[in-house]
Amino acid sequence: QKEVEQNSGPLSVPEGAIASLNCTYSDRGSQSFFWYRQYSGKSPELIMSIYSNGDKEDGRFTAQLNKASQYVSLLIRDSQPSDSATYLCAVGNYGGSQGNLIFGKGTKLSVKP
């Protein structure tokens, strides 16, 4: 059974701080890793994707991947109250018929003004 584990939170950080969200996965064959943001009552929104070991930066977001440790993380710098949401980690194989994703339960982030 392929699993993706996340701390459910809530994770509370003050405005302007760095929020660190973590995710571990069980399938060593996983090749693609995604972070989705989901506001309450809304659908998941893709914010980051990463496929190779190391860091990938996009604005205030940095995704980090360590395949040897089966660990992926998301850092949010200069956190804003608008970042308050549930962050879903999703893991999959690369394309074609192996394109489905396994999602974690999500970590709820609260950014306090």
Partner 1 sequence: EAGVAQSPRYKIIEKRQSVAFWCNPISGHATLYWYQQILGQGPKLLIQFQNNGVVDDSQLPKDRFSAERLKGVDSTLKIQPAKLEDSAVYLCASSFVGQGRGSYNEQFFGPGTRLTVL
Q: Across-strand partners of 49?
A: 34
Gap between the Cα atoms of 25 and 29, Å rounded: 10
# residues contacting partner 1 (CB under 8 A): 26
Q: Is 54 in the site for partner 1 (CB under 8 A)?
A: no
Gap between the Cα atoms of 89 and 5, Å rounded: 8
The residues near 22 (Cβ < 8 Å, ≥ 6 apart) are: 6, 7, 71, 72, 73, 107
Which of 34, 37, 73, 111 forms a contact with partner 1 (CB under 8 A)? 34
Gap between the Cα atoms of 75 and 17, Å rounded: 10
Which of 15, 16, 58, 94 forms a contact with partner 1 (CB under 8 A)? 94
Name the segment binding partner 1 (CB under 8 A); options: 9-17, 34-42, 53-61, 62-70: 34-42
Task: Look up residue 64 and give its two tokens.
Answer: 């980090």
Which of 44, 64, 84, 109 forms a contact with partner 1 (CB under 8 A)? 44
Residues binding partner 1 (CB under 8 A): 4, 31-32, 34, 36, 42-46, 49, 51, 88, 90, 92, 94-97, 99-101, 103-106
